Amino acid sequence: MSNIDDKINLEKKGETVVSLEPSIDPSIISSLLNTKPKNAREFLYPKMELEAIDKHEVLILQKEIEHSILCKKVLSESIDNKLVLFLEQQDLDLFREIKQFKKDFPAHTHQVALSKFASKHHSDALVRIIYGTPLDAAMLYDTTVKQTVHHLRKFLNNSEPSYSFLRSRVILEILKRQMFIVLEISVHDIKYRFLQIVAPFETLAKEAEEQQIRMQLTDKCIQSFIKNHTGHNEDAREYPQKEKQEKDWFIDNTFIKILWQIPFARNQKVFSKRSVPFDYERIHEFKGGDVERLGYKRVKQDFFSAAKRNQLVQSIILQCRVKLRSNSSRFSAITTLVEMGVFKEYYMLHDGPPNEPNHIDLKNQEYNLNKSFRLDLKRFHKRFGYFNNPVEEIREYFGESVAFYFAWIEYYSIWLIGAIVIGLVAIAYGVYSVMAQQQSYLTLLDNKGTPFFAFAMSVWSIYFVKYWKRQSNYLSFIWDMDDYHNQEVIRPQWKPTAERISPITGKEELYEPSSSVRMKRSIALFSMFLTFLVLVGFIVANIALTNFLQARFQISYGGSITSAVFAVFQILVFYPVYHKLVEWLSNFENHKTNTDFNNSLAWKEYVLSFVNNYGLLFFIAIVKPVIITSTDSQSFNYLGMWQQTCNIAENECEKNLIISIAIIFTGQQILLTIWEFAYPWFVAFYDTSSEKKIKGAEPEYMKEKDLVQLTRDVLSSEYASKVIQLGNVLLFSAVFPFAPILAWSNDVFEKRLDLIKFVDFYRRNFVEGANSIGVWETIISSVVYLGIFTNGVVITFLSNGLEQVIYALDSDVSSRYKMLVYKLFFLILYEHLLYIISSVLDYFISDAPQAVRDGKEAEHYIRDMWRAEEIKEEEDEFEEAFSEFQSLPID
């Protein structure tokens, strides 16, 4: 091997462009193909030259800093092959002190180092850098890209900022906000730079105070408040009071309450939880913030959860903005610049590897495995298996928006047990009818008990929605999200088309005129209508093909089976197509905020999923029976070519519906579950390039760039699949009591896969707060009320069970019109009775449990006292300062 200096070529042409072209003997590479190196760079250089390579890579990074606007504004220090950037000299001095400590005591872990330096400012972040523990966020950029931002020239007086200039401005903004940056050259491609960001505890605490993040007070602090302001002891703060509990005794102490509280039993802390906006100066009054009792190390490590830390870091980063012109607003330095291509990637980092290693593979990489929530989530499943989700642990790591999804799945799965019980009773009665009355096997599913089963399922669905609202309010209170208002940021995809003087600030701003908004949404709505027609066209073609095959081969139920199989493949083929379409349409509508975008995406996706999944079933369950009943015939011509039969007396339509829903429901669940798991796995692990095969291991944060980003779009797809499943349970439950059993079996398995998916195969999400499941709550309520209508129609026009009940009540029903009148009367009575039950429940049962309502009142009371003390302290400080001013001698 020649000297390493012969392998490095630095070109300085205005902007630093670095190329590293080592001449490697092919025989050396082939001999290393079967080895497992500790570092990928061992494939490029012999071990004896790794230290030299570290130095030269640091030299490259230092040269890039020298040729940027950062050269006179930042301080830097190398560690191995990385370059750490600082803004303050005291941070650099402390970094060198900790670095020397590690050199003097190489056997000590980062926990020992943190214990020693914890009392010093910013020490936790510096220890993480030196000891190689996972940091907070990462960015990736390409140094060979020399593009300038041509489309921003009008904002910069015709000057064209280079990508290098914009990146330097972002780095400087990040450092100004008291965070640290670690630069490293990619081990796979020398032209790429990884930029890691880490925030010290003090920076996070200041941001939490600015954002008015609610944190829980200690019991001692609460007792002190109560005693000082009321003169009572601890008992005075116990909520709810006994007499208030008695008002909701039936509501809060029935089997249903026990049912919906099972997965959250460990969260029952309504009585003692009191939270107020965080105040850094009074951190000792918050849980986990008492330095005297816990020590600096534990406070800095544990005060902020992993999710809260993620949320605060991204909030700080989003405030780092590059000013593009003096008289306008600033563009986001990250979201906008990633959209422009200045940065290739920006993502939050997991707090450790997905699997627990037996040894540390990478030099200077130490993982605090005992504190890795990512590993804890996997350990939890090993202990508790398929029947419980660690909702609290998920919230601690992924945040409230993801936790609400898993909480809803857990709630839904447990409530399905009630639906299963109802279904088993109906099936048991059907078995009794078949055996006792020697009737056909179809009587197992269609008998005198069918109307009562459908009614019971509808009542179950009403209670399901109502008690989810109570559970949602309970969780939002326990998680300090009950008065959460999402701080919306402008989407980088938002493209304003005009300028105006802001009526709020009086400054010039970009916006989109309302006429443009209406035009784009009209086009999107028309596109949705065309897509709707395409889906309906394929459903019509499916039915026509089935009729053709059935007429050609004279098979009894083969046509229904063929039609259902085609419907399953139609669902699987069109799902990714219209998912991309609705995403494109929602982007075309140019929504300014993420909430508007995701609500639009959810509604569009569900409407098309509804047509795609239920179109054939609605034709069999409603269209055919209604046409047959209204024409007093047993058949009609389909498209004027094929005879479509539906002999109600012989249950022909009902048999076709049962066959179709069984095949579609089962096939769709199995195949979609496989697809949802296989896709992120494929993206995470599939790479045919020989380059990756010979480079071996790389740092964990570099691996994470190849994972799928966990976004709200992913959650929207997960919600959509579950709500479609709920529709299969509710919309046609009258003829298929096995649906709850199939749904529960799928959910028990899939909710485990979802968590494994999120932990192993997705990047760390950008944590967002949430106080509910959002627009999906409205969609679920719509499905419930639509299910009441569809089941009423199915029982009225399709099932023989209602006729059996009518004949039992009135044996002298010989006229078809008299039977039709009875059926229509039943339909009206059935639907109105259920809507009345829903209204009565809304009137008598609050959306929030009594304990939560009392807890909110108690929290507001504590917050008022907290603010009063802050105001009093400010007044005392002002009076003291004013007294000192008055005591000064007058010249």
Round the average pLDDT of the chain to a whole number and report it: 76
Q: Which of 174-183, 350-359, 768-777 has the highest mean pLDDT?
A: 174-183
Cβ atoms of residues 215 and 208 within 8 Å = yes
Q: Which whole number is the average pLDDT over 442-462?
A: 82
pTM: 0.83
Residue 549 CB: number of other CB atoms within 10 A? 15
DSSP 513-577: -HHHHHHHHHHHHHHHHHHHHHHHHHHHHHHHHHHHHHHHHT-SSHHHHHHHHHHHHHHHHHHHH
| pLDDT tens readout for residues 64-110 | 776 676 667 788 888 888 899 999 999 999 999 999 999 999 888 88
| pLDDT tens readout for residues 795-811 | 887 777 677 777 777 76
Cβ atoms of residues 733 and 454 within 8 Å = yes
What share of the chain in percent tops pLDDT 70? 71
Q: Name the residue ranges covered by the structural domains of the chain.
A: 48-217+277-349, 231-273+852-891, 375-501+508-848
Closest CA to 404 of 490, 529, 412: 412
pLDDT at 10: 33
Q: Tokens 């510096």: give the residue.
A: 126
| pLDDT tens readout for residues 434-443 | 777 666 666 6
63 three-state secondary structure: helix
What share of the chain in percent tops pLDDT 90? 15
pLDDT at 20: 33
| DSSP conformation class of 704 | G
Q: Is the pLDDT of residue 680 over 60?
A: yes
| pLDDT tens readout for residues 283-298 | 888 988 888 888 889 9
Sequence length of the chain is 891
Confidence grade of residue 493 (pLDDT, cut at 50, 70, 90): confident
| pLDDT tens readout for residues 552-585 | 666 666 667 888 888 888 888 888 888 888 888 8
Cβ atoms of residues 471 and 264 within 8 Å = yes
**Amino acid found at 21:** E
- Better pLDDT: 663 or 235: 663
pLDDT at 313: 94
Q: What is the Cα–Cα distance from 706 to 728, expressed in whole angstroms?
A: 36
Confidence grade of residue 875 (pLDDT, cut at 50, 70, 90): low
